[in-house]
Structures are given as C-alpha cells and as structure tokens.
C-alpha cells in the first residue's frame, strides 16, 4: 500500500506506522514480480539475491565515497584542460568546489556519525567508517591542492593575459583605494555586525558555509587582546568590479577585488579605539542532511521547515582557512567547531570559488566561454503544431537540452487553457523558483480543472523552494499531496485527462529529469510523450496509488520502486545471462548517474561471467570494479563529463535480437530501489527504439574526447582517439544534430561491445 502523507492525512497515529511497516516488508521481502514479457513471472531469487555468489566479496567492490571523489576529480580535469575556453575552466573549478561542499555536508557527515556512534557496519568493500574517513580526507586534500595549483599557476596568469585582474585591496593605487573605502563606508559597513568572543560573549553560532573573518585585536585601554568574528554578508556580490574611472591607474582591463579582501582592509572602521593586529578568512561546513521520521511527524511540511532551520546549526564537518593563518588561530577555530586537524583545509586563494560566478556568468567575455547553444524546436513538434493531435498520432521522444524542454512547458500551459481538458496530475521533485509550470498549474486550477500535484518536500537542498511553491499551489485550489510516508517521490510523471471527440483520452509525459526549465538547459534528459492506452492506464493507476490508499499489484508496462524495480531489472539481467549460456549474444547497455546497489552489481558480474557483453555509462559513483577475476573484459564502464550534466537514465537489453528499452529516473542504488517511488517506463515505438539504439547510445559509447574508462583500481583513464580514429564528442554531436548540421554518425556498436582492457591483478 502507498499511503498519502498530505497535511490532511499525516498523523502520529498507529495507522501511519503500520502502513509504513507494511510498505517496508513488501519492498524488502522476496516476492513474485511481473517480468517484462507481458506478465510472465520471475522469482525474486534472481542473480544478486544469492548471498553465496562468488562475486559477493569485498575485492569486487569499489568504495562509494572514494568513487565519488574520483567523479569530482574528473570534474576538476575539465578545469585543468587547456583546450577548454578560459571561463569554462573557471566554471568547472567552481563546480568542483560546490560538489565538494555537498560531499562534506552529506557523505562525510554520515561517515563521521558512523564513527561517533561506533557503528560496526561495513560496506560491500568491507572498509570501516574510520578507514573510509581517512582515505577520503587524504584524497580530498590532494584534490584541493590540485584545485588551488590550477587557480594560482594556470588560471590567474591566463586571466591576466586577457585583461581580467583580481587585486588585493591592500595594494590598490590611490584612486582605486579611495573607491574601495567609499564603497565600504557607505554600503558595506552598515550591514556588518562584529561578534566579540570572550567569557561574556561565547563563540557565535555561524551559518553553514558562511564566509567569515576572524580578527585579532589589541585593546590599548585595557592593555590586553581580544578576538572577534565578522561574517561576510551574503547580500553583496563576493567579487566586486572596480569602476573603470577608479581603476585607470591599474591599466587597461577589467579590475576586481574580493569582498572579503575589501572588508579585511577596512576593519579599523568596525573596531574604533582598538588596533587590528591580524585577520584571516575562514569557512565552515556543517552536516546538512535532514533527519526526519516522517511516519511519526504530525505535520510533514511543518517538520521539514523546522528541520531546515536547524540545518545551519548542524555539527561542523570541515574547516577551511586562509593559508598563512597561525597555528594558534587554527587551533582556536578547530576547538570551537569540535574538529580535528584532519578536518582542516588551508586554502592559498579564494575560500569559495563560487565567488567567481560574476566572471564566468558575465556576457562581457563571449570569446572566453562556450558558444551559446539554443535548444532546437523538436521536429515532431514544430511551431504552431497541435501537440494533442501530434500525440494522438504518434509517440514522441525528446532529447534535452538539444531539443527544447519548452515543449513540455507548453503542453502544461495548453492544458491549463484548453476547455476540453478535465484534469491534470503530476509529480514535482525539483522545479525552478519562478516556474512557468507552477503558474500553469495555478491557472488550470483557477480555470476549474481538477489539478493534483504530488510535491516531494524532501528533495535535498530544494526543500524550502518546494514548500513555497506547494503553498502557492494550495492557495490556488490545487490538491497538493506532500510526499509519501517513508519514501521520497522521485518519479517524473505528468498526466492530462482530456475529453476528445471520440473518447476521454490520457495524454502522458514520462521523463528522466525534473520539471525544471532552468536545469533542462544544461542537464541531458529524455522525455516520452504518449497516449498509448495500456501505458497511460498504468500511469493513472500509479497516480491513484500515490494519492490514495490502494494496493499496488504490479504492472505489465511500468516498473515501480520500491515494490518490484530491483527484481524486474534482475530478471532482465538474468534473461541476458541465460541467452549467453545458451550460446546467444547476451547484451546489456545501461546509462546511469550512479551504480551502487550490491545485489545488482553481483547480478551484472554473474551475467558477464556467463558471457554477456555489458557497457555501463555511469557519470558519477560506480562501485562495480571492471576487469575482476572471472569476468574478464565483458564489462566496460565509461564516464562522460562535458558541457552538459549527463542526467538521463537508459536501460537497454538485447533480448535475443528483440531489444527491450526502458527509461526512467532511477539509478541503481539502494535508495532508488528501496526508499524512493521510481517509475521506469518502456519505449515501444520501433522508430523511437531505433533512435536510442542507432543514434543516442552509440554516441555515448564512441565518445573519445570527454569520456573516461574506469580501471580496476578505481581510477579513470581519459579516452583518446586511437591510430587514425577521428575525435568524437557525444555532446557536440548531439548539438550539431539539433542545429540541423551535417554530421558523421558514430559507428553503431550496440550489438558488439568493445572489450575493456582486463587487468591481471584486478583484485
């Protein structure tokens, strides 16, 4: 049973707890599942559930945290790449830092909690929490050192060479110094609040990831010293452009100063009568994971709001300080944040590269950025086309951002106005702050249509944004359901109920990405638009399961987590294994963000050992170790990091020559299988299946410019053109294809997998 946890139905009563326990038992227990071939059943004892598997051993698994750091190392490689436009390198340096923030806020925070609780739990790699912490900190320190070497030795000289300068405010010539002082006194000073630290003023409760300055002072009148904290205000840009008139003495070019540098140089105005001895910038990261037992929460929305207020007060997990900070000051900060030397990062440059956003977001340097890309209007949905008529005739597959996501927005807008539309149902996990989709849903409700929206409040780091637009929807009369008891609703579904001339018809959108028009411009995702009677009928059932109290009994078309998704995938993997054992060409191609689930990894190993050729395109974390004993070169793992964030999930199974193709938003992770509502849907139209098999997957598999090959030791090797092979970049190919340019299609290698290099000592 899936129970609604809307405000009207959440309570701390036993029925909610009982429903949650029933859900956990069903999701975790062995059960018969409907296999992909029209209702045949496969037992839950599919490969990967067997604990005796020869592959269920620590040496066959890579550590999740260390694999994540290797993913971020690949992001950092893009900043180090001299072939990238200069400001794109700066952007990747910033992305690396932002990624690392989240890693500490969530992953390292969790590891620290395991250590503090003296948990004896081990991951499939059998590393203890302390071992993971030590290895992760060592690797993170190495990567941060590389990040700052890139900044100081490569990017600063390159920026200066093109006339972009960042100055210390202590070294400005008179006119620029006068501007800086005026700027400080008139605009910045009124916002600042110095916080003294002494026996009567305890160390302040600083916000997570806030940028601060610790100030050491002499008090001549008292004949002693003092310490204070000044928080850099978030209401100002962290990088300030010096006006050209004030910067004339600095020479031609664009001249900037960091806000913290300007403030530190004018601290004397904040502490009159005291002598500023020294000041040092620092930044602290806190545990930012939500701790909510939503089965016991009387009101989930209120509980999440309260928890968000506490997030900024979570335990510290990392301290970053300006290089050159004296040991006694470092010790003082570490003690107050209850951290150790291992948690300390000394930074010879900006304490946060996100502060450089004004540079790489500026339109003033077009030659230093990637050429602008405008998503194409889909050929299947030309301007002025009646989208409902198109969907009645055929299924439509859209590849974002190459084909515009605006088509999906316009579908919802059209539905909100169309008098023949009776109702709209959709899930919202993440969307933009000023979303046209939310506006269209409001308009639909105001126009008298039945509108139901399932809003996931627990979308990490988007919780408050989701609360805001959920309230806006409620005020307009939309029926809002706030998530599902004990689960996170991650599936992407839209269903429009329309009274056509012949009958009532369901128009459905299913996607791999969020309903967010902003991120859809740089996330790669796939959308399926369909009116297929069987498929849309199952979508309607799932919506009723999500908002009502009905039981889920499985589907023929859709695969749903947490009830059957793992088992259904295992059945598909087992089929390829059996085909290979019978002498056929077993073949699997899967594109994911992350591959972590232990049982599924074992299932893949067993299939590969039987001779199945497996290609895994995994952007981020991959705990499967290719080239291990017994598998040889039958599994290849590649990762693509490029201009766009690879976000689509594709699942392709050879099926003895009659391929099965599925799309969805589910990575192969325990959380997606067991703790999320996920919907994986088939692509059945022959032309659309051929597009995925002949155009999309071959491009990823043949990328030799932006892809990396996973080695058995967990490191990645960048792929390069071999011999007379031409350079090929999948994302560039898709961009050119969308622009209508003539392109050479990559060789089709979906059937015969390239063999990954085996490793003699893989274990």
Residues 6+ apart with CB under 8 A from 356: 90, 93, 94, 239, 350
Residue for token digits 């062995």?
30
Residue 22 CB-density burial (10 A; 0-12 exposed, 13-18 middle, 19+ buried)? middle
| Three-class secondary structure assignment of 293-351 | CCCCCCCHHHHHHHHHHHHCCCCEEEEEEECCCCHHHHHHHHHHHCCCHHHEEEECCCC
Alpha-carbon distances, residue 612 vs 479, 615, 627, 657 (angstroms) = 47, 10, 14, 14
Alpha-carbon distances, residue 627 vs 209, 498, 749 (angstroms) = 40, 52, 20
Asked whether 259 and 232 are in contact (CB, 8 A), the reply is: yes
Verify cis geometry, omega within 30 degrees of 0, for the bond prior to 513.
no
Residue 9 CA to residue 7 CA, distance in Å, equals 6
Of 325, 293, 176, 314, residue with least CA distance to 243: 176
Question: CB atoms < 10 A from the CB of 98, how many?
Answer: 15
Structure letter (DSSP) for residue 378:
P
Half-sphere exposure for 756 (CA within 13 Å, toward CB):
30
Residue 688 CA to residue 152 CA, distance in Å, equals 48
- Please give the structure tokens belonging to residue 686: 């022959």
Is 266 designated active site? Answer: no
Residues 6+ apart with CB under 8 A from 98: 354
H-helix segments, 453-525: 463-475
| Three-class secondary structure assignment of 59-94 | HHECCHHHHHHHHHHHHHHHHHCCCCCHHHHHHHHH
Residue 306 CA to residue 300 CA, distance in Å, equals 10
Q: 617 — phi, psi (to 5°)?
A: -105, 100
Half-sphere exposure for 311 (CA within 13 Å, toward CB):
21
Residues 6+ apart with CB under 8 A from 644: 401, 522, 523, 524, 731
The full DSSP string for 613-646 is EEEEEESS-B-B-TT-TTTTTSEEEEEE-SSSEE
Residues 6+ apart with CB under 8 A from 17: 295, 296
Give me Rg for the CA atoms of the chain: 28
Of 280, 349, 346, residue with least CA distance to 318: 346
The full DSSP string for 111-148 is HHHHHHTT-----TT---HHHHHHHHHHHHHHHHHHHH
Residue 532 CA to residue 539 CA, distance in Å, equals 10
Residue 740 CA to residue 278 CA, distance in Å, equals 60
Active-site option among 211, 266, 400, 490: 490
- The length of the chain is 763
Residues 6+ apart with CB under 8 A from 425: 451, 452, 453, 493, 494, 495, 497, 543
Q: How far apart are the first and last CA of the chain?
A: 43
Catalytic residues: 490
């Amino acid at each position: 049973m899936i129970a609604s946890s809307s405000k009207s139905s959440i309570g701390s009563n036993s029925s909610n707890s009982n429903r949650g326990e029933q859900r956990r038992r069903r999701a975790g227990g062995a059960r018969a599942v409907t296999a992909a071939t029209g209702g045949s059943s496969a037992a839950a004892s599919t490969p990967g559930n067997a604990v005796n598997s020869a592959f269920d051993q620590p040496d066959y698994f890579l550590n999740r945290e260390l694999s994540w750091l290797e993913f971020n190392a690949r992001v950092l490689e893009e900043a180090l790449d001299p072939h990238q436009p200069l400001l794109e390198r700066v952007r990747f340096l910033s992305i690396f830092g932002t990624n690392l923030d989240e890693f500490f806020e969530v992953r390292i925070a969790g590891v620290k909690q395991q250590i503090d609780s003296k948990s004896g739990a081990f991951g499939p790699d059998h590393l203890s929490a302390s071992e993971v912490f030590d290895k992760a900190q060592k690797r993170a320190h190495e990567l941060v050192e590389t990040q700052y070497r890139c900044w100081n030795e490569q990017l600063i000289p390159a920026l200066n060479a093109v006339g972009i300068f960042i100055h210390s405010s202590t070294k400005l010539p008179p006119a620029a110094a006068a501007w800086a002082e005026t700027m400080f006194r008139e605009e910045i000073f009124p916002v600042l609040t110095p916080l003294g630290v002494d026996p009567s003023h305890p160390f302040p409760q600083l916000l997570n990831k806030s940028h601060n300055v610790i100030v050491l002072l002499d008090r001549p009148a008292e004949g002693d010293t003092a310490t204070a904290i000044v928080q850099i205000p978030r209401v100002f840009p962290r990088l300030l452009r010096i006006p050209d008139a004030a910067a004339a003495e600095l020479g031609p070019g664009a001249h900037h100063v960091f806000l913290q540098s300007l403030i530190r140089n004018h601290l004397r105005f904040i502490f009159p009568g005291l002598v500023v001895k020294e000041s040092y910038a620092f930044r602290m990261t806190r545990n930012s994971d939500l701790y909510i037992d939503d089965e016991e929460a009387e009101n989930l929305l209120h509980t999440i709001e309260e928890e968000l207020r506490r997030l900024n007060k979570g335990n510290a997990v990392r301290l970053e300080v300006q290089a050159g900070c004296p040991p006694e000051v470092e010790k003082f900060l570490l003690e107050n944040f209850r951290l150790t030397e291992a948690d300390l990062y000394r930074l010879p440059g900006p304490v946060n590269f996100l502060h450089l956003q004004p540079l790489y977001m500026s339109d003033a340097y077009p030659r230093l950025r990637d050429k602008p890309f405008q998503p194409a209007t889909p050929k299947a949905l030309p301007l002025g086309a009646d989208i409902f008529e198109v969907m009645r005739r055929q299924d439509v597959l859209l590849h974002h951002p190459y084909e515009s996501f605006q088509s999906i927005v316009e579908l919802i807008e059209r539905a909100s106005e169309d008098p023949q539309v009776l109702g709209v149902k959709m899930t919202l996990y993440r969307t933009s702050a000023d979303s046209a989709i939310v506006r269209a849903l409001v308009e639909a409700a105001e126009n008298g249509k039945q509108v139901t929206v399932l809003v996931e409040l627990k979308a990490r780091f988007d919780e408050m944004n989701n609360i805001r637009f959920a309230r806006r929807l409620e005020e307009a009369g939309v029926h809002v359901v706030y998530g599902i008891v004990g689960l996170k609703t991650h599936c992407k579904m839209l269903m429009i109920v329309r009274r056509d001339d012949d009958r009532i018809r369901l128009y459905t959108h299913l996607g791999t990405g969020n309903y967010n028009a902003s991120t859809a411009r740089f996330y790669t995702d796939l959308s399926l638009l369909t009116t297929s009677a069987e498929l849309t009928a199952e979508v309607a059932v799932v919506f009723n399961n999500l908002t009502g109290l009905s039981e889920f009994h499985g589907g023929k078309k859709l695969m749903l987590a947490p009830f059957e998704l793992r088992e259904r995938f295992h059945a598909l993997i087992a089929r390829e294994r059996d085909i290979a054992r019978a002498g056929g060409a077993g073949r699997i191609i899967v594109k994911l963000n992350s591959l972590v689930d232990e049982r599924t990894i074992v299932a893949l190993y067993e299939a590969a050992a039987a001779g199945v050729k497996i290609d895994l395109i995994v952007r981020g974390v991959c705990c499967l170790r290719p080239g291990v004993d017994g598998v040889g070169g039958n599994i290849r793992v590649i990762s693509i990091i490029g201009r766009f964030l690879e976000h689509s999930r594709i699942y392709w199974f050879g099926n003895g020559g009659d391929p099965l193709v599925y799309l969805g938003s589910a990575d192969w992770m325990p959380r997606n299988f067991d703790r999320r509502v996920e919907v994986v849907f088939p692509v059945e139209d022959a032309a659309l299946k051929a597009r995925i098999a002949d155009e999309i997957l071959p491009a990823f598999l043949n990328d030799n410019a932006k892809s990396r090959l996973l080695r058995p030791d967990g490191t990645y090797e960048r792929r390069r053109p071999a011999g007379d092979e031409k350079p090929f970049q999948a994302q560039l190919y898709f961009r050119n294809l969308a622009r209508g340019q003539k392109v050479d299609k990559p060789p089709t290698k979906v059937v015969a997998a390239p063999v990954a290099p085996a490793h003699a000592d893989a274990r």
